[in-house]
Amino acid sequence: MSGFLAPRTLFWLAQLHAFLKRDRHAIETLRRALALDPGMQEAWRSIGFLYAQVGEPTEAIAALREAVRLAPEDAETRFNLGFLLHQRRDLDGAIDQLKAAIRLRPSIDRAWYGLGVIYLDRGDLPAAIEHLQEAARLQYFNPHAGHHLALAYHRAGERQKAIAEQRRVESYDPKIGAQIAREIGLR
């Protein structure tokens, strides 16, 4: 195979392994592809995702950082890196990546949600509310965004908004709606 074709063939073989839930084989195949073409951004992105799947967050973060370095305009990869950084409690790094993802693609509701949760954890209620409102607007039926938005309203002393959000969530997810009701003192 040619120098161009070999790493791409390995990349697609890795995708097949991943589809068949053979994640370790997929990782090894992607490593071989990257040895042939270290500039293949999609391979770095895929291997980062797979490392996260198999519970190796340090390797996942390193791979996603390389994918972002190679393609800084890739909003989805920036979101995934931000998500992993948030899980690892690197909140400043997570904020940077999630904000970049939003700048690149404002419709990425999960990035708005992630930022809202971080700001809520930090006690920055105005920023939490702003980001969670946008997440709920972009993905109306995301009960987690609604849940955290209701909590942010509650903590900010905006009881009526918290109740309205609880009712909105309860209208399509009664279980999460009941949880919100308990947490904000309605039941």
- Give the position of tokens 């084989």: 25
Angle between helices 41-53 and 5-19 (to 10 degrees): 20
DSSP symbols for the chain? --TTHHHHHHHHHHHHHHHTT-HHHHHHHHHHHHHH-TT-HHHHHHHHHHHHHTT-HHHHHHHHHHHHHH-TT-HHHHHHHHHHHHHTT-HHHHHHHHHHHHHH-TT-HHHHHHHHHHHHHHT-HHHHHHHHHHHHHHTTT-HHHHHHHHHHHHHTT-HHHHHHHHHHHHTT-HHHHHHHHHHTT--
Measuring CA to CA, which residue among 127, 125, 161, 124 is closest to residue 146? 161
The tens place of each residue's pLDDT in the chain, 187 residues long, gives 557 789 999 999 999 999 999 999 999 999 999 999 999 999 999 999 999 999 999 999 999 999 999 999 999 999 999 999 999 999 999 999 999 999 999 999 999 999 999 999 999 999 999 999 999 999 999 999 999 999 999 999 999 999 999 999 999 999 999 999 999 998 7
**Res 141: pLDDT:** 96
Give the global pTM: 0.88
- CATH architecture of structural domain 1-81: Alpha Horseshoe (1.25)
CATH superfamily of 106-187: Tetratricopeptide repeat domain (1.25.40.10)
Q: Are 117 and 108 in contact (CB under 8 A)?
A: no
**Res 1: pLDDT:** 52
Q: Where in the chain is the domain with CATH 1.25.40.10?
A: 1-81, 106-187
d(CA 96, CA 164): 31
Residues near 98 by beta carbon (within 8 Å), at least 6 away in sequence: 78, 79, 82, 86, 111, 114, 115, 118
